[in-house]
Structure 1
Amino acid sequence: MFNKILVPVDLAHKELLKPSLDLAADLAKLYQADTCYISVTANTPGALAKTPEEYAQKLEAFAKEQGQLHGQVVNSKVITSPDPIADMDDAIIQGIHDTNADLVIMTTHLPRRLDIVMPSTGGKVASHTDVSVFLVRHSG
């Protein structure tokens, strides 16, 4: 049913991703699908990395760790942006096209009043692509 699963990752909040990561691993095993972890980073120094290349190395290490944990071959993709927060939705949508993903599994947050004015990333990704999007609710 699915061939390529895309999992958006924020390395600054890895502890919140476990339910999404586990689900992606389970579905990848079930459908013998490839998994790609994607992340968006700034093209300027940040708290996690001084360069996009350093961030890409950290994401690759994270992906490799997940692959070993779940016994799967995985890969990673970093998209750089001058403003990762503002460009997150479009970067994930671009990542879907770049990787030929047919399923996105992503962590989301509980709805807030602000979502009326600024829709969630998951909602935009789901409404602006033709792939399935599985939102894993984070309660925090």
Structure 2
Amino acid sequence: MYNKILLPIDLNHKQSWNKALPTALNFCQTYNASLHVITVLPDFGMPLVGGFFPKEYADQAKKTMTDNLRAFVKEHVPKDVKVQRIVADGKAYEAILRVAKKIDVDLIIMASHKRKRLEDYLLGTNALRVVQQSKRSVMIVR
């Protein structure tokens, strides 16, 4: 039923993967699907933001995030699950949608948690936008 599952995570926030990762692993093992773990680096190249960082900062940040994602996968994903690590940049929801389309995933499994703003009460802003704009199936795990 599912061949490719995309799991967006924020390495700095355990709630972004604490419940979603076991769900994704269960689906991968049940359907013999591959897991594609994505984390998103904010776009430091924007003129307003980019001016505050040295030119090499974005490259170093991406390398560090890639290393951290590699360590995360090694620690949390069983060896029998086919996994791809992806570090994307830009706005989180846009990067998730872009990667989902590019690698043609069947399912996006992501966590959501309550926010303070009323319109974000049921879903976080990134999860809400992914659900609204995705052409792929999306499972939100709480």
Tell me whether the two structures share a fold, i.e. TM-score over 0.5: yes
SS in 2 for 1:12: coil
Match of 2:67 in 1: 57
Q: Alpha carbon RMSD of aligned pairs, Å?
A: 2.5
Runs (4 or more) in structure 1 with deviation over 6 Å come to none
Query: What is the aligned counterpart of 1:103 among 97, 103, 107?
Result: 107
Alpha-carbon deviation of 1:110? 2.7
How does the TM-score come out when normalised to structure 2?
0.78
Match runs of 1:101-140 below 5 Å = 101-110=105-114, 112-115=117-120, 120-137=125-142
Ranges in structure 2 where 5+ consecutive residues have no aligned partner: 45-52
Match of 2:50 in 1: none
Pairing 1:66–2:76 present: yes
Name the structure with the higher strand share. 1
Q: What is the letter of the counterpart of residue 100 of structure 2?
A: I
Q: Cα deviations across residues 4-59 of structure 1 (Å, max 9, x unaligned)?
A: 0000010001255221100000011111100011010134659xx95211211111
In structure 2, do the counterparts of structure 1 residues 126 and 51 end up closer, same or farther at CA, with 3 Å as the change threshold?
same
Ranges in structure 1 where 5+ consecutive residues have no aligned partner: 82-86
Q: Distance in 2 between matches of 1:28 and 1:119?
A: 25
Alpha-carbon deviation of 1:73? 2.3
Contact map agreement 1:4 1:33 (CA 8 A) in 2: yes
Q: Which entry has the higher C-alpha Rg, 1 or 2?
A: 2
Contact map agreement 1:79 1:91 (CA 8 A) in 2: yes
In structure 2, do the counterparts of structure 1 residues 4 and 61 end up closer, same or farther at CA, with 3 Å as the change threshold?
same
More relative contact order in 1 or in 2 (CA 8 Å, sep 6+)? 2
Q: Distance in 1 between matches of 2:67 and 2:102?
A: 19
Aligned residue pairs, count: 128
Per mean C-alpha deviation after superposition, the further-off stretch among 120-129 and 23-32 is 120-129
Match of 1:80 in 2: 89
